[in-house]
């Protein structure tokens, strides 16, 4: 490793260890590396501006805003009522409601934190009142929330599509099978947990109540049909779909549910702005980091070294998954994607891995990272709702993490598992 690359890695790692925010650590390390390499300071500014100029990135703040609008606007409540009417009376029914409602909400918002907050704020207290332990209720909701990066539309797939220069629509399709499989596995976990701990069932809904729930939830159910149908019908792009999602959320919240007002609109916008700012800051600054990696040929050199040292394709993919999982447990997932994107793409290309399948592998890892201790985004959302400590949720969530890792292995080693809808 040359001096520039070593300085880049050491500066970034040192700042992170001392508690510096990721965006600041990235920016400082890039400035230091550029200075040592003798590059023009204006080069960094150019790259920062260039990193924010992708049309696809507009989807990120728009999907975050859509999630906030739908949560406050009543769509999440309708989804929960609908799921409760059809599966609430079964063994583990209320926990299953969290999974099903989160899966549908994820197909609208594209955001894991928004999904966790919208579903968890209602169902975690309800599950505790029904006999579930608070750690289990929170862990299930957090695990269901991370379906957001997998079930299309997905912010994570938008970002990876920009990095890897792949079709975002095809990446969306590649996320369906891993997402649905994780959801099915979570339903099984809910069933056996409730059976083991003798959790009382809810009273079954009458046919009339189920029909009313279905009718009242029609606007919520139409949301994924509108968004996904518009994308794959060629009516609008994934980025435009994010804008349509916001407009639809505003329409339902103001005109149908009438829970959105001009007074609560501003807090929603400010919360979305805060989250979007953090995400975009990491992406923009990481662009400069990626340029250094490319100019110093770190990705190419490492990919060459890895493929020459390890000849077995399956072992290379296993090592990549292990490294990504460990990094995602202590680093921001978006930062990892942007920083390591060139390296990951170089390795996958040298191994002959389908780029769409590899995108599904990366985003499945991202989803796991959002639920994995100690810094998964959704863990902290669950902590805020339940009032539990990180250790309490971490001990309860490991069965769900194991399930996600099994799905990750299927996505990694069986290409058709994620790509059969694409081809």
Q: What is the pLDDT along the chain (423 residues), one digit of tens a residue?
A: 567 667 777 787 787 677 777 667 777 877 777 777 666 666 666 666 665 666 666 777 888 888 788 878 888 888 888 888 888 888 888 899 989 988 888 887 777 877 888 888 888 988 898 889 999 999 999 999 888 888 888 888 888 888 888 888 899 999 999 999 999 999 999 999 999 998 888 788 788 888 988 898 888 888 888 888 888 888 888 778 888 888 998 999 998 988 898 888 998 888 888 877 776 776 676 666 666 666 666 655 666 666 667 767 888 888 888 877 777 765 666 777 877 777 788 788 877 888 999 999 999 988 888 888 877 778 878 888 888 888 899 899 999 999 999 999 999 999 999 998 887
- What is the residue extent of each domain of the chain? 3-419
**Count of other CB atoms within 10 angstroms of residue 395:** 11
Query: What is the distance between the alpha carbons of residues 374 and 394, in angstroms, rounded to a whole number?
Result: 8
| Cα–Cα distance for residue pair 258/416, rounded to 1 Å | 44
Whole-prediction pTM? 0.80
Locate 328 and state its tokens. Answer: 């995602």
Q: Which structure tokens are listed for 179?
A: 């997402």
pLDDT at 316: 81
CA–CA gap between residue 362 and residue 177 (Å, rounded): 14
Q: What is the four-CA torsion angle of 23, 27, 33, 39, rounded to 10 degrees?
A: 140
Cβ-based neighbour number of residue 312 at 10 Å: 8
Find where tokens 């925010």 sit.
21
What is the per-residue pLDDT for 283?
Answer: 67
Tokens (6 digits) for 325: 């999982």
Selection from 360, 357, 359 nearest residue 415 by Cα: 357
Name which of 113, 81, 118, 121 is nearest 97 in CA terms: 81
């Amino acid at each position: 490793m040359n001096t520039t690359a070593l300085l880049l890695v050491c500066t970034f790692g040192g700042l992170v260890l001392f508690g510096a925010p990721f965006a600041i650590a990235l920016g400082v390390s890039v400035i230091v590396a550029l200075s040592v390499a003798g590059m023009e300071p204006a080069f960094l500014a150019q790259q920062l501006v260039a990193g924010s100029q992708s049309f696809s990135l507009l989807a990120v703040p728009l999907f975050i805003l859509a999630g906030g609008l739908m949560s406050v606007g009543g769509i999440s409540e309708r989804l929960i009522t609908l799921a409760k009417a059809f599966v609430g009376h079964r063994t583990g029914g209320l926990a299953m409601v969290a999974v099903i409602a989160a899966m549908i909400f994820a197909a609208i918002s594209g955001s894991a934190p928004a999904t966790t907050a919208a579903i968890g704020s209602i169902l975690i207290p309800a599950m505790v009142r029904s006999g579930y332990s608070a750690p289990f209720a929170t862990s299930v909701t957090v695990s269901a929330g991370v379906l957001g990066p997998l079930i299309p539309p997905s912010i994570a797939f938008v970002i990876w599509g920009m990095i890897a220069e792949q079709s975002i629509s095809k990446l969306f399709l590649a996320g369906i099978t891993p997402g649905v499989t994780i959801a099915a596995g979570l339903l099984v976990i809910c069933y056996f947990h409730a059976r083991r701990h003798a959790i009382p069932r809810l009273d079954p809904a009458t046919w009339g109540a189920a029909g009313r729930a279905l009718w009242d939830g029609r606007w919520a159910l139409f949301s994924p049909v509108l968004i996904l149908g518009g994308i794959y019908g060629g009516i609008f792009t994934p980025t435009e779909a994010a804008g349509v999602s916001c407009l639809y959320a505003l329409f339902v919240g103001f005109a149908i549910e009438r829970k959105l007002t001009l007074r609560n609109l501003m807090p929603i916008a400010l919360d979305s702005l805060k989250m979007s700012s953090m995400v975009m800051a990491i992406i923009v600054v990481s662009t400069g980091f990626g340029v250094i990696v490319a100019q110093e040929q770190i990705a190419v050199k490492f990919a060459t070294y890895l493929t020459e040292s390890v000849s077995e394709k399956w072992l290379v993919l296993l090592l990549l998954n292990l490294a990504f999982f460990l990094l995602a447990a202590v680093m921001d997932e978006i930062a990892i994607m942007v920083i390591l994107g060139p390296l990951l793409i170089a390795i996958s290309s040298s191994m002959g891995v389908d780029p769409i399948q590899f995108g599904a592998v990366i985003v499945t890892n991202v989803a796991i990272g959002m639920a994995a201790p100690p810094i998964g985004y959704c863990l902290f959302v669950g902590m805020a709702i339940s009032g539990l400590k990180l250790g309490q949720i971490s001990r309860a969530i490991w069965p769900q993490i194991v399930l996600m890792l099994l799905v990750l292995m299927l996505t990694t080693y069986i290409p058709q598992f994620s790509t059969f809808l694409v081809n």
